[in-house]
Chain A
């Protein structure tokens, strides 16, 4: 299961479709507030962080991943030009 965390639903849906197109395991979209709930008990393959997330939300989700399992890959979606 891949969880895509973002505030903007349209961006999340678009990226979700692309990931699904790549034949990845199931993908769900979530907000920074409910991503853990959305993931449920399923094994997390990765957490994608959308480009519209605020820094506190990014920090909170990364810290949450650390508490859950520090080995879960975290993918940051960012505009080109940022480091």
Chain B
């Protein structure tokens, strides 16, 4: 199947093509495009709500209270939450309300190759390594008088964890290849989507560093747990498109209801991207539930796009939803497995993650369901009544 066919089949997917055998220049081009795409997503994440914390749910009100409380203090903050929940937006808000005169400097520990991270954070002296033709200050120094945001701290290599711990204890840094201790006046905010206590148990994260960082913890709830904020967020994203591109969109009530029921694994970032795509597909148009792409409509059969719309390329059909045999045939085993996975996921959602209840909904034994969840590598439910 060609990339064009695949793109028609999965219109939501960000597909790239690379000739094999691979040429280095072509690979470099694709990697650069991928990095650029991530930068756009990260920027969209930073810009979510123009840096404002949008929402009126109890969770958001509590989050704003925490930000207001901690911002003026020098306390180190550890922000946790799933990917796309807006951890950097919260960090920037804390900086904005802190009254600190220096800049906000952010580093993503997971995005910088391990061998470059130390120089990136602490800087280097001239001649410290091949290519270090002049001395360079690191991000810690650049954040002087301001806030230093260490994103994806859970991905920091063990050797760097030791060095960061020393900085937090002594409040000085030493450049790579240098000997002088340079005092750093920064307010540190760290963030991660990982379960740090679990990583400590596995020996992947230092416990002493965790306690140094976790002075003021802030946990951001996933979007699916504050579904009442979704209309506010959608309207805010539409407003921004209107402001920047003079293009608007109207989301019908049935579509909004579907959006509020979807699980949003990618959280606010995924919602912002969806609005952006809808603006591209239907500029100044009206979006109904039928216009929403898979997997957003996956869980509601009554709202699946019809065949005509699928063939138009506007809507996408989830795998395992065709009721007629495709002309090219299909892999029946795979097809049935996808239907089974979809039904299990829906049952787990309907049962709030309680395996026993989901098994009753599906008419199978609990043991059978547990085995299928394991085999399909579905997300382990949070709750289990045993």
Which of B23-68 touch A at CB < 8 Å? 24, 27-28, 30-31, 33-34, 37-38, 41
Asked whether A25 lies within 8 Å of B27 as measured between CB atoms, the reply is no
Of the residues B4, B152, B194, B338, contact of A83 by C-beta under 8 Å:
B4
Q: Which residues of B contact A11 (CB under 8 A)?
A: 20
The answer to whether A65 and B13 have CB atoms under 8 Å apart is yes
Within residues 29 to 83 of chain A, which ones have a CB less than 8 A from any CB in chain B?
Answer: 36-37, 41-43, 45-46, 48, 50-51, 55-56, 58-60, 62-63, 65-80, 82-83
Contact B10 A78 (CB under 8 A): no
Residues on the A chain within 8 Å of B113, using CB: 23-25
- Do B266 and A71 touch (CB < 8 A)? yes
Among B9, B14, B266, B270, contact of A74 (Cβ-Cβ < 8 Å): B14
Q: A74–B22 contact, CB under 8 A?
A: no
B327 CB, min distance to chain A CBs, angstroms: 14
| Chain A residues with CB under 8 A of B37 | 71, 73
Tell me if B16 and A25 are in contact (CB < 8 A): no
Asked whether A46 lies within 8 Å of B34 as measured between CB atoms, the reply is yes
- B216 beta carbon closer than 8 Å to chain A: no
**Complex Cα–Cα for A72 and B216 (A):** 32
CB of A77, distance to nearest CB on chain B (Å): 4
B22 near A77 with CB under 8 A, answer yes
Kindly state the separation between the CA atoms of A48 and B30 in the bound complex, as whole angstroms. Answer: 11
- Tell whether, in the assembled complex, residue B13 and residue A79 are in contact, meaning their CB atoms are under 8 Å apart: no
Complex interface: chain A residues within 8 A of B24 (CB): 18, 21-22
Q: Which residues of B contact A (CB under 8 A)?
A: 1-6, 9-10, 12-20, 22, 24, 27-28, 30-31, 33-34, 37-38, 41, 83-84, 110-111, 113, 152, 155, 193-194, 265-266, 269-270, 273, 294-295, 318-319, 331, 334, 338, 377
Q: Which residues of A contact B (CB under 8 A)?
A: 1, 11, 15, 18-19, 21-25, 36-37, 41-43, 45-46, 48, 50-51, 55-56, 58-60, 62-63, 65-80, 82-83
Other 18 A-B pairs with CB < 8 A, given A63-B10, A67-B265, A77-B20: A19-B31, A21-B24, A43-B83, A45-B111, A56-B334, A58-B1, A60-B334, A62-B6, A62-B13, A63-B338, A66-B13, A70-B266, A71-B14, A71-B37, A71-B273, A75-B17, A76-B18, A77-B18
